Amino acid sequence: MQQVESSSDERHDGRPELVVELGRAQAKVAQVYHERCATAFERYFDAVRAATEPWRDGAARSGSPLDLWRDASAYWLDATQRSVLFWDTLRQRGNNWIEHEKAGKPPLLAFEWEIVADARSFERPVNYALVSIVPPAGVRTDPNRRPFVIIDPRAGHGPGIGGFKEASQVGVALKAGHPVYFVIFFPEPMPGQTLADVSRAEAEFLRIVGERHPKTRKPVLFGNCQGGWASMLVGAVEPDLVGPIVINGAPMSYWAGNDGENPMRYAGGLLGGLWPALLASDLGAGKFDGASLVENFEYLNPANTYFDKYYTLFSKIDTEPERFLEFERWWGGFFLMNRQEIKWIVENLFVGNNLADGDAEWSEGRAFDLRSIRSPIILFASLGDNITPPQQAFNWVADLYPTTEALKANGQVIVGLMHKSVGHLGIFVSGAVAKKEYTHIVDLIDYIEHLPPGLYGMQIEDQKSPDGSLHYDVTLTEMRVEDLQALQKYGRKDEMPFEAVEKTSEMLAAAYETFVHPFLAPTVTPAAAGIARAFNPQRFQRWAVSDLNPFFWPLKGAADIAKANRAPRDNEGPAARMERSSAAMVSASWDLFRDLRDAAVENTFFRIYGPAGMGMAAEDKGTVAEEPTDVRNAPFVKEALARIEEGDRTEAMVRAALLLMKAGTGRRRLSAMKRARELVGQDVGLLDMPTETAREIIREQSYIVDFEPVKALLALPKLLRTSVDRRMLLDMLGHVEGRIEANAKQVALLGEIRHLLAEDPSQGRTKAEPITLTLVEREEDEHPGIEVRQGSSRRASGKRRTRENP
């Protein structure tokens, strides 16, 4: 019996760890699938109960038969009129679409604009152009203020979303007095253009903007969605041309997301990777139809695509048509890409996720390296965005910089702003977001370049003035790259199967290029491709319901009659309640379909690619891991630490400010930064310097303060060689003290700085006690800080490095 048990234990212990992990993973996949299905039905039944509640309590059936007859008669008259007006609105949508097509699909900006540079005439032509936004009446811009350049997404739709209405990114920047430029693109790509050519053209646009505004700092670059990673590519290719980069709802880490929330990330795997995009391009005579990308967006929310948006129009036909038609003008503009462009995007981003890894090549042997970007970066994402979830917007930071120290050593400043609820399109078109988030992003731009390297969380706080009015203040909280793990559900283990997707895609694409492309591509003519595009459902539903269709010609007259005799329904009548209940149940049914479909897609994806992904991960464990980089030995850091006792008055002032910040809570208020600049900005001298020079001083001093804070403090007198310099620093500290909130540690540190710089060494002390400078690794915020303690009897918790200054 003992032998049998021993043999069984040996077999169990000898079972490969991978098999055990695979079994656990598959069990977890099954569990998640069943939980998601159960949750889907629970949501559906909750929605049905809410929709039928008026009928269960009898409220909807109240009234005499005569009252019910009158209500039904009024309702059907109203419903008939609404039906006529509804179809007439769709007819107008079709006519608008046709007119927009005939006009060449110009950008749908709410502002007048003038072309500054047309990249179709460049040496390497692309279908892009740079336009200057003409300020509307009553708005004045200053050419000596730094310009803003906005890049819209080329992801199926046309340009204009960043300036779609007055309350938009364009409107906010204009209102703040900045010249604004917009990068537009045309429907048809130039023959042979590539994404690298587009990046070069956009870099040239920035050079042109810089020449038009030679007295300002480098242009601020705004990138929306796909335009976000396009902006990052420009910053990596030509870092010397770019000022701060703001990317909004921009996917950068395409494998990231959470189960049950982000189904789009599985599409590449279930479709087999790259080859469907190649097939679609070949069927388009070498051009990829952007309508296919729009269909992917609509796939995410079928309830809205097929019912909700139309029911909203039908139920609010007296007020909704203008908003509906305005949005549909942009949503229905479909632009094309070259085969080479969509191939690069799918291969390197959607499937390969190569951008964050530094493997996305823009020419043979030359890859985009996002670590080359020297400008500050602001990331704006939303928890309510299911197209670009926060994980896709932020994970690239952790991929590029495994530690906070690595990010700082590269001199990078990254600020993250998270909205709690707005959806993907709302990030760009919401007037509320423009008035709050974008207004404060624009306000922060003038200060972000003078932040020390690091990762910051941006929060916009509501504050009430004494008079009761509401205003906002921005708070920047220093964070660690490791904090980004809070966004992850499984520590990113669910990204392992995507490596198998990449390998599968490479094999299938190679087979397609070898056995299908050479025979299919020559058979498709541009004319045939054009006809096929015209009958794409996205286009067909528009031109088929327009004046091109003679069956809809009577609609205009019928709609005029309905408007002239409009008899709106009683919203509280039984028939109206029946309509709302039915609509709610239809919408809930579509949501149930979506939830069950997404659960099945996710389950299928992990069952197909999960085992292969875990096997590849197990093989990677056997490879020799890279030695962790000692950030202290990084060239920039070593050079800075070698200059601890070197510098001038400006560097001493910056060092003193950074020491005080390090002793603080890690939080910086924009209002406090504004006050500090008003009080001592000119005294420090950074404002009179070129931006790069000022940032270099801040970077160097931040390295010194981060790695050698005690030596940095004690070396201050050596940077201030004259009594005039010392007095200027002391005066600066005096101007700030009392006007900007400080904690006890900062107050004590101020006293120590005064003592170090005093002409009489006895000044600044009340007792003849030694000063203990303590570097404390504070557990509560995980940021090292300086504690200044008088006397040696006090205890300080935590790890420390102490030096006595008698």
Mean pLDDT lowest among 2-16, 59-73, 110-124, 566-580 = 2-16
Q: Which residues pair with 221 in a beta bridge?
A: 149, 245
DSSP string, 742-768: --HHHHHHHHHHHHHH-SSTTTT-SSS
Number of domains forming the structure of the chain:
3
Q: Which tokens is 70 given?
A: 């009158």
Q: Report yes or no: 126 and 198 within 8 Å, Cβ to Cβ.
A: yes
Is the domain of 56 the same as that of 146? no
Query: Does the residue 83 lie in any domain?
Result: no
Query: Does the residue 445 lie in any domain?
Result: yes
Is the domain of 612 the same as that of 681? no
Is the domain of 606 the same as that of 664? no
Query: Does the residue 78 lie in any domain?
Result: no
pLDDT in tens, 725-764: 899 888 888 887 777 777 888 888 888 888 888 865 554 4
Is the domain of 166 the same as that of 248? yes
pTM: 0.89
pLDDT in tens, 263-322: 889 998 999 999 999 999 999 999 999 999 999 999 999 999 999 999 999 999 999 999
Domain of 599, in residue numbers: 1-62+585-625
Query: Does the residue 448 lie in any domain?
Result: yes
Cα–Cα distance between 346 and 9 in angstroms, integer? 48
CA-based angle 108:110:114, to the nearest 5?
A: 80
Query: Does the residue 274 lie in any domain?
Result: no
Q: Which of 571, 596, 625 is the last residue of a domain?
A: 625
pLDDT in tens, 219-238: 999 999 999 999 999 999 99
Is the domain of 489 the same as that of 424? yes
Neighbouring CB atoms inside 10 A of 679's CB total 15
DSSP string, 268-332: HHHHTTTHHHHHHHHHTTSEEETHHHHHHHHHH-HHIIIIIHHHHHHHTTTTSHHHHHHHHHHHT
Share above pLDDT 90 across residues of the chain, in percent, rounded to a whole number: 58
Is the domain of 641 the same as that of 598? no
Is the domain of 241 the same as that of 368? yes
Mean pLDDT lowest among 20-34, 313-327, 611-625 = 611-625
pLDDT band at 357 (very low <50, low <70, confident <90, very high): confident
**What is the CATH classification number for the domain harbouring 375?**
3.40.50.1820
- pLDDT at res. 259: 78
Q: Which of 446, 479, 495 is the last residue of a domain?
A: 495
Is the domain of 368 the same as that of 460? yes
As a whole number, mean pLDDT of residues 580-603 equals 96
Query: Does the residue 752 lie in any domain?
Result: yes
pLDDT in tens, 629-671: 678 888 888 899 999 999 998 898 898 888 988 888 878 888 8
Query: Does the residue 282 lie in any domain?
Result: no
Is the domain of 42 the same as that of 119? no
pLDDT in tens, 12-31: 444 467 677 788 888 888 99
Is the domain of 203 the same as that of 122? yes
How many residues belong to the chain?
806
Q: Which residues pair with 113 in a beta bridge?
A: 133
Is the domain of 247 the same as that of 173? yes
Amino acid (1-letter code) at residue 775: L
H helices of 117-225, in order, are: 169-175, 195-212
Is the domain of 43 the same as that of 189? no
**Average pLDDT score over the chain:** 86
pLDDT at 777 over 60: no
Query: Does the residue 164 lie in any domain?
Result: yes
Cα–Cα distance between 171 and 163 in angstroms, integer? 7
Q: Which of 724, 746, 762 is the last residue of a domain?
A: 762
- pLDDT at res. 26: 85
